[in-house]
Chain A
Amino acid sequence: AQSVTQLDSHVSVSEGTPVLLRCNYSSSYSPSLFWYVQHPNKGLQLLLKYTSAATLVKGINGFEAEFKKSETSFHLTKPSAHMSDAAEYFCVVRHGSSNTGKLIFGQGTTLQVKP
């Protein structure tokens, strides 16, 4: 069965410093992995996705993530945090045993950006 674990429930950084949000996955298949962002009282927006192409994936707003099979990780990074990055971030794996599009979400990481 597939699952994702977000290692930090809360991350706090200062504006202009790097962001690292950690995610480990478990999958019996070659996984499809995603990062979604949820701003307060808003819906979810896709930041980036990995679907077995390049292991370093670039997303919107300067975010990127690297798929590391040996470490079963898909950490999200950004070189320099902006105040507008403050939000909830979800690491997601697609259920791979069927073609239903079922997404399995991690527990979420709250990113706080301090001025």
Chain B
Amino acid sequence: DTAVSQTPKYLVTQMGNDKSIKCEQNLGHDTMYWYKQDSKKFLKIMFSYNNKELIINETVPNRFSPKSPDKAHLNLHINSLELGDSAVYFCASSRSTLLAGDNEQFFGPGTRLTVL
């Protein structure tokens, strides 16, 4: 009955490689997000999709490319990994942000990426 799930939980890779992190939610939500948490635990939003459409695209290197095949999935692909990409990446989902009212975001368990 997991609400927001991410795979893998841990990812260790070499600089220059390309990797993907997958996220799935079974809450019936329309909006999904990717956040990056750095080594000082600071969390910052990277992307958000509403019903497969990109609505937030922060200042993120274009080596990062989100893909939403359907509204229940939001994957994050990273090309040419760099040391500075090492972080914990969190996926989240909420009801559609286009609806009035407060839309609580539900977070996944995170993916710890280590670039060597």
Q: Which residues of A contact B31 (CB under 8 A)?
A: 101
- How many interface residues does chain B have, given as a range? 20 to 34
Residues of A within 8 A of B45 (CB): 102-103
Q: How far is the CA of A105 from the CA of B38 in the complex (A)?
A: 12
Q: How far is the CB of B72 from chain A (nearest CB, A)?
A: 17
The answer to whether A105 touches B109 (Cβ under 8 A) is: no
| CB of A51 within 8 Å of the partner chain | yes
Q: Which of B1-58 contact A (CB under 8 A)?
A: 4, 31, 33, 40-45, 48, 55-56
Q: B56: which of A41, A43, A102 is its contact (CB, 8 Å)?
A: A102
Q: How far is the CA of A101 from the CA of B106 in the complex (A)?
A: 12
Known interface pairs A51-B102, A101-B33, A101-B97; A43-B44 also in contact (CB < 8 Å):
no
Interface contact A103-B56, CB-CB below 8 Å? no
CB-based contact A45/B107 at 8 Å: yes
Given A43-B90, A108-B42, the answer on whether A103 and B105 have CB atoms closer than 8 Å is yes
Q: Which 3 A-B pairs have the closest CB atoms?
A: A101-B97, A43-B107, A105-B43
Binding site for A on B (CB under 8 A): 4, 31, 33, 40-45, 48, 55-56, 90, 92, 94, 97-98, 102-110
Q: A44-B43, A105-B44 are in contact. List 12 more A-B contacts (CB 8 A).
A: A32-B102, A42-B109, A43-B109, A43-B110, A99-B98, A100-B56, A100-B97, A101-B94, A103-B45, A108-B41, A108-B42, A108-B43
